[in-house]
Amino acid sequence: MTFVNAGTLGAAPGRRDELVAHLTRANAALADVGCLAYEVGVNDEEPDTVFVVEIWESAQAHRDSLALPQVQESIAAARPLLSGQFGGFRFDVVGSPLRP
């Protein structure tokens, strides 16, 4: 079942664009493990927040991705760019009007 992880990452003051650049670096390993989409966005009304929507083949694929060395390295490299404020939600997709 398709799984969505959507959330917000608080960026350290003045480091939002650096965090966006980090999060949008190409990472083919994500697709290899089952990531269907990984979208990063900003809203200038929230200058220290980055929005991320991840769509995965399954919740297990998402969990498996967290064990990948490339993902662990990316998380470690992102930590200095984060304020520690996080938000979001996760859910299993049950349908869509865009596909059968």
- pLDDT, one tens digit per residue, over 41-83 is 999 999 999 999 999 999 999 999 999 999 999 999 999 999 9
Say if residue 99's pLDDT is above 90. Answer: no
Rounded to the nearest 10 degrees, what angle do helices 69-78 and 16-23 cross at?
Answer: 170
Q: Specify the residue for token string 């929005």.
A: 51
28-47 burial by CB neighbour count: b if 16+ within 10 A, else e? eebeebbbeebebebeeeee
- pLDDT, one tens digit per residue, over 6-17 is 999 999 999 999
